[in-house]
Structure 1
Amino acid sequence: MRKIGLLPRIIAAIILGIIIGSFAPIPVIKILATFNSLFGNFLTFTIPLIIIGFIAPGIGAMGRGAGRLLGLTAMIAYVSTILAGLLAFITANNLFPTMLYHQTIKQFENPESVLRKGYFSIEMPEVMGVMSALLISFVIGLGIAAIKGDLLLKAMNEFRDIVQLVITKVIIPLLPIHILGIFANMTAAGQVFTILSVFAKVFVMIIVLHLLYLIFQYVVAGSTQKQNPFKMLKIMSPAYFTALGTQSSAATIPVTLTRAKKLGVKEEVADFSIPLLANIHLSGSMITLVSCAMAVLFLQGKAITFASLFPFILMLGIAMIAAPGVPGGAVIAAIGLLESMLGFGQAMTSLMIALYIAQDSFGTACNVTGDGAITAITDRLHKRKTAS
Structure 2
Amino acid sequence: MLAGIILALVSPNAAQAVGLLGNLFVSALKSVAPILVFILVASSIANHKQGQKTNMRPIVVLYLIGTFAAALIAVLGSFLFPSKLLLATTNASLSPPGSVIEVLHAVLFKMVDNPIRALIEANYIGLLVWGIALGVALRHASDTTKTVVSDLSYGITFIVRLVIRFAPIGIFGLVAATLSDPETGFSAFRGYAHLLMVLIGCMAVVALVLNPLIVFIITRQNPYPLVFTCLRDSGIPAFFTRSSAANIPVNMTLCKKLKLKEETYSVAVPLGTAINMAGAAVTITVLTLAAVYTLNIAVDIPTALLLSVIASICACGASGVAGGSLLLIPVACSMFGIPNEIAMQVVAVGFIIGVLQDSVETAINSSTDVVFIAAVCKAEEQKEAAMATSAVKES
Which of 282, 286, 307 is the equivalent residue of 1:287? Answer: 282
Q: How does 1:134-173 map to 2 (within 5 A)?
A: 134=103, 136=105, 153-155=112-114, 158=117
Structure 2 counterpart of 1:84: 70
**Structure 1: runs of 5 or more not aligned:** 1-60, 119-123, 145-152, 165-194
Alignment deviations for residues 76-109 of structure 1 (CA, whole Å, 9 cap, x no partner): 101100000001101211222xxx5xx69xxx6x
Which residue matches 1:250? Answer: 245
Q: What does residue 46 of structure 1 align with?
A: none
Tell me which of 281, 287, 292 is aligned to 1:297: 292
Change (3 A) 1:335 1:385: farther
Cα distance in 2 for partners of 1:251, 1:294 equals: 30
CA shift in 2, pair 1:303/1:377, >3 Å: same
Does the CA-based 8 Å contact 1:199-1:355 persist in structure 2? no
Q: Give the deviation of 1:256 after TM superposition.
A: 1.9
1:215 and 1:229 in contact (8 A); partners too? no
Note the alpha carbon deviations across 1:322-346, whole angstroms, 9 max, x for none. Answer: 5323210122244334335552432
Paired residue for 1:321? 316
Cα distance change, pair 129–281 in 1 and its aligned pair in 2 (3 A): closer
**Other-structure match for 2:229:** 235
Structure 1 residues 185-237: Cα deviation after superposition (integer angstroms, max 9, x where no partner): xxxxxxxxxx9776211211222222221122124324534543222133221
Given that 2:56 and 2:264 are in contact with CA atoms closer than 8 Å, whether structure 1 keeps it comes out as no
Structure 1 CA distance for aligned equivalents of residues 340 and 56 of structure 2:
37
TM-score (norm 2): 0.56
Matched, 1:209 2:202: yes
From the superposition, tell whether residues 139 and 304 of structure 1 become closer, same or farther in structure 2 (CA, over 3 Å). Answer: same
Structure 1 residue 274 displacement after superposition: 1.4
Residue-by-residue CA offset, 1:29-68 (whole Å, 9 max, x unaligned)? xxxxxxxxxxxxxxxxxxxxxxxxxxxxxxxx9xxx8997
- Matches of 2:383 and 2:330, distance apart in 1: 39
Question: 1:133 — aligned with what?
Answer: 102
- The size of the alignment, in residue pairs, is 268
* Distance in 1 (alpha carbons) for counterparts of 2:339 and 2:248: 33
Change in Cα spacing, 1:261 to 1:80, as seen in structure 2 (3 Å) is same
Q: What is the alpha-carbon root mean square deviation over aligned residues?
A: 4.1
C-alpha separation in 2, matches of 1:85 and 1:279: 17
Structure 2 CA distance for partners of 1:273 and 1:116, relative to 1, 3 Å: closer
Distance 1:261 1:341, change over 3 A: farther
Whether contact under 8 Å (1:240, 1:369) holds in the other structure is: yes
Given that residues 293 and 352 in structure 1 are in contact (C-alpha distance below 8 angstroms), is that contact kept between their aligned partners in structure 2? no
Q: Which amino acid aligns with 2:99?
A: V
Distance across 1 between alignment mates of 2:264 and 2:285: 31
Shift of the 340–156 alpha-carbon distance from structure 1 to 2, 3 Å rule, reads farther
Q: Partners in 2 of 1:117 and 1:349 — Cα distance? A: 8
Q: How many Å separate the matches in 1 of 2:250 and 2:90?
A: 47
User: How far off is 1:254 after superposition?
Assistant: 1.6
Q: Which residue of 2 aligns with 1:266?
A: 261
In the superposition, relative to structure 1, how do residues 261 and 243 fare at CA in structure 2: closer, same or farther (>3 Å)? Answer: same
Deviations 1:143-167, CA, capped at 9 Å, x for gaps: x7xxxxxxxx244984897798xxx
State the distance in 2 between where 1:158 and 1:117 align.
31
Mapped to 2, the partners of 1:373 and 1:335 lie a distance apart of 30
Cα shift readout 1:333-370 (whole Å, capped 9, x = no counterpart): 44334335552432332223423624101110011111
| Residue number in structure 1 paired with 2:175 | none
What is the SS of the residue equivalent to 2:349? helix
* 1:235 maps to amino acid: T
Following TM superposition, by how much is the alpha carbon of 1:382 offset from its aligned partner in structure 2, in angstroms? 5.4
